[in-house]
Amino acid sequence: MAIRQPCRSSELVQQWWLGYYFAAMESQDLARGYETKADEELLRLALDSVDLTPEANAALNVELSKRRLNQPERLEAFRQGEWKRKEDLQKDTGKLWVIHQYGIGRKRFGKADYSYNSETGLEQFRTTIFIVLFWIPLIPAGTFRIERKRGLFSRDMTVLERLPLDWEQILKVWIVAAGSVFALIVLSRLMLNLRLRF
């Protein structure tokens, strides 16, 4: 007795229908997700639309259109604003601070490529921010070109640009720090020996 084979065309139709159903469900989920996002989040996604799936792009474009955010000039203005925001973040040195009791915090070390303008009273130099422990610079957090008003207790500074880590400056800071620690150890031992003698 011959066994009846299932119809191949019906299987294809069923697979197509399932694919369409799940794609539709995904599009609906994406649309609902985009509806809850702020304008800035949608525009940020639009700038990186090449990384989205076709379904995600379609749902995003629908939501942008509903909010009238899809005009080229609006996208370009947002792109420029994002570029400026990222540039400012790169220039941010972070807050410099130290807990004096333990010498833990973030401090600036080094003054390379120094220049001074006598007319404006401004000085410029390259410096590196370190994470410090017991006042010892351990981990370099970033190298910056900064400008500030020259003065004995001048703390305000303007970051001109963030630079790649200056390993020459970092090594010099570490060598000076290691030398200072070594000198302190030797001095402590000398003082201890003098105490024991007297």
What does the pLDDT look like over 97-115, one tens digit per residue?
A: 666 666 788 888 999 999 9
Residues 191 and 117 both lie in one domain: yes
Measure Cα distances from 190 to 153, 185, 195, 196 in Å: 34, 9, 9, 10
Based on the domain organization, do 78 and 104 belong to the same domain?
Answer: no
> 82 vs 137, which has greater pLDDT?
137
The residue from 41, 67, 88 where one domain ends is 88
pLDDT band with cut points at 50, 70 and 90 for residue 35: confident
Q: Are residues 193 and 135 in the same domain?
A: yes
Residue 23 to residues 15, 127, 158: CA-CA distances in angstroms?
A: 12, 54, 52
- Specify whether 111 is located in the same domain as 177: yes
End-to-end Cα distance, the chain: 116
107 and 186 fall within a common domain: yes
Confidence at residue 191, expressed as pLDDT on a 0 to 100 scale: 85
Instruction: Tell me the residue range of the domain where 160 lies.
Output: 97-197
- Per the listing, tokens 């963030």 go with 162
Residues 109 and 181 in one domain: yes
Residue 69 has pLDDT above 70, yes or no: yes
Mean local confidence (pLDDT), 123-150: 91
Instruction: Examine residue 150 and state whether it is found in any structural domain, yes or no.
Output: yes
CB atoms within 10 A of CB 16: 10
In percent, the amount of the chain with pLDDT more than 70 equals 75
pLDDT score of 100 = 64
Flag whether 53 is in a domain.
yes
Task: State residue 27's pLDDT score.
Answer: 63
pLDDT of residue 40: 80
pTM as predicted = 0.51
- Tell me the mean pLDDT in the region 91-102: 64
pLDDT range class, residue 153, cuts 50, 70, 90 = low
Q: CA 31, CA 61: separation in Å to the nearest integer?
A: 10
- Say whether both 102 and 186 belong to one domain: yes
State the total domains in the chain.
2
pLDDT in tens, 188-198: 888 888 777 76
